[in-house]
């Protein structure tokens, strides 16, 4: 499965980057490709390319604030969760997405 994600928290520091790291680790552990954009206090980092979005099977928005440029995901399947879910339950989150999409 190809996953793209955006992480963002209210302060734009710790939880943004911890959520990124946890999602990346869980996806790789389960054999999936993932690209994560962060929207922190320094702005957008590792911005998702139009090609990555186009090719993605799922978009994860792990955010506690409004994600900028959400229109990019208009025709995609999107899962929205608070950043704490990505931090504390990333593996379970990826597992639920697999189940929903019928992917293993």
Tokens standing for residue 69: 């440029």
Cβ–Cβ under 8 Å, residues 91 and 34: no
* Closest of 78, 75, 72 to residue 59, by C-alpha: 78
Please indicate whether residue 96 is annotated as part of the active site: no
Cβ–Cβ under 8 Å, residues 93 and 81: yes
Q: How far apart are CA 63 and CA 68, in angstroms?
A: 11
Cβ–Cβ under 8 Å, residues 63 and 9: yes
Task: Look up tokens 């978009």; give the residue.
Answer: 59
Among the listed residues 9, 18, 93, 94, the single catalytic one is: 9
Active site residues per annotation: 9
């Amino acid at each position: 499965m190809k996953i793209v994600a955006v992480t963002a928290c209210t302060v734009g520091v710790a939880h943004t980057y911890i959520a990124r790291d946890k999602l990346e680790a869980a996806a790789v552990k389960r054999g999936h490709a993932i690209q994560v954009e962060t929207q922190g206090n320094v702005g957008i980092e590792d911005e998702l390319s139009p090609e990555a979005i186009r090719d993605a099977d799922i978009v994860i928005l792990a955010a506690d604030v409004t994600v900028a440029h959400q229109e990019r995901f208009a025709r995609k399947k999107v899962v929205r969760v608070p950043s704490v879910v990505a931090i504390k339950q990333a593996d379970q989150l990826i597992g639920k997405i697999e189940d929903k999409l019928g992917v293993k």
